[in-house]
């Protein structure tokens, strides 16, 4: 039985779920901010977003046009395709999700996935994975999207706390000796062997399988997992430095 006075989040999952439900309140009149279902996506990718009038005021915070206006500011000077894609994601975060937004989101990734995967910043790649998790058309899209966004969200949580150490992200901690073995993990889990463990390999391989199998998810999955494979500043990059150490007093860096 959980001691309510010692919960990590006061109010427990009642509070956690209320937070989520507040974020999922539906936008009003979403059809006003979506293009026709048969819009030419190639043309959208060539048209640039114009900066909106900064003085426009929307009385209702749930007005879909208000969100569209904010996204116009974010994507000013970028392809219209990026704006439409982001608007689909914003609408699909709410419940009930507009089916027109889901159909357009999936069509965008089916027809323009390779372009989007290379051009979008990491924030929108993660948001795309989250949307695939909730609204994917196939099992691989939903499982792969869920795995990708959880992977990157947990990297962000872990590595944000690690910055408190002031040690650069591409430097591993020194593990001279074995004194760290005396520090227990949460939930009394068995510790992961930094030098010899293969948990990271199994995790990445499973995600790669989802990404490689589904042609619509593939551009997004390959792009995100390529970042994990190539950037040395995350926990996955540092793990390779631990595995590269030789003996109990190996160097902390390659």
Note every long-range contact of 85-90, with CB atoms under 8 Å and residues 24 or more positions apart, other chains counting. 85/116, 85/120, 85/124, 85/128, 86/124, 86/127, 87/33, 87/34, 88/34, 88/131, 89/124, 89/127, 89/128, 89/130, 89/131, 90/27
Assess whether 70 and 194 both reside in one domain: no
Average pLDDT, the chain: 91
Query: What's the pTM?
Result: 0.89
* Domain boundaries, position 94: 1-120
CA distance 193 to 191: 6
Give yes or no: residues 133 and 47 share one domain.
no
pLDDT tens across 100-135, in order?
999 999 999 999 999 999 999 999 999 999 999 999
Q: Which tens digits make up the pLDDT trace of 199-209? A: 999 999 999 99
Count of structural domains within the chain: 2
User: Who has greater pLDDT, 245 or 73?
Assistant: 73
132 and 250 co-located in one domain: yes
Query: Which two structure tokens, joined as six digits, stand for 196?
Result: 């010899």
Q: Say if residue 77 is in the same domain as residue 177.
A: no
């Amino acid at each position: 039985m959980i001691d309510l006075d010692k919960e990590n989040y006061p109010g427990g999952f009642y509070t956690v779920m209320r937070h989520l439900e507040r974020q999922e309140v539906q936008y009003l009149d979403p059809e006003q901010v979506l293009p026709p279902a048969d819009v030419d996506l190639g043309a959208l990718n060539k048209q640039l977003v114009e900066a909106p009038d900064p003085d426009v005021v929307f009385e209702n915070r749930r007005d879909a046009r208000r969100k569209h206006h904010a996204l116009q500011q974010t994507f000013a000077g970028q392809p219209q395709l990026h704006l439409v894609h982001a608007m689909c994601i914003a609408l699909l975060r709410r419940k009930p999700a507009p089916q027109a937004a889901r159909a357009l989101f999936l069509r965008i990734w089916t027809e323009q996935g390779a372009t989007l995967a290379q051009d979008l910043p990491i924030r929108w790649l993660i948001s795309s994975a989250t949307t695939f998790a909730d609204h994917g058309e196939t099992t691989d899209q939903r499982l792969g999207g869920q795995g990708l966004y959880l992977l990157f969200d947990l990297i962000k949580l872990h590595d944000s706390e690690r910055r408190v150490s002031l040690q650069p992200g591409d430097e591993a901690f020194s593990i001279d000796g074995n004194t760290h073995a005396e520090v227990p993990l949460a939930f009394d889990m068995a510790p992961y062997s930094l030098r010899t463990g293969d948990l990271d390999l199994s995790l990445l391989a499973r995600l790669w399988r989802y990404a490689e199998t589904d042609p619509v998810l593939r551009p997004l999955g390959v792009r995100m997992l390529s970042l994990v494979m190539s950037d040395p500043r995350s926990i996955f990059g540092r793990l390779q430095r631990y595995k590269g150490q030789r003996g109990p007093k190996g160097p902390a860096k390659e």
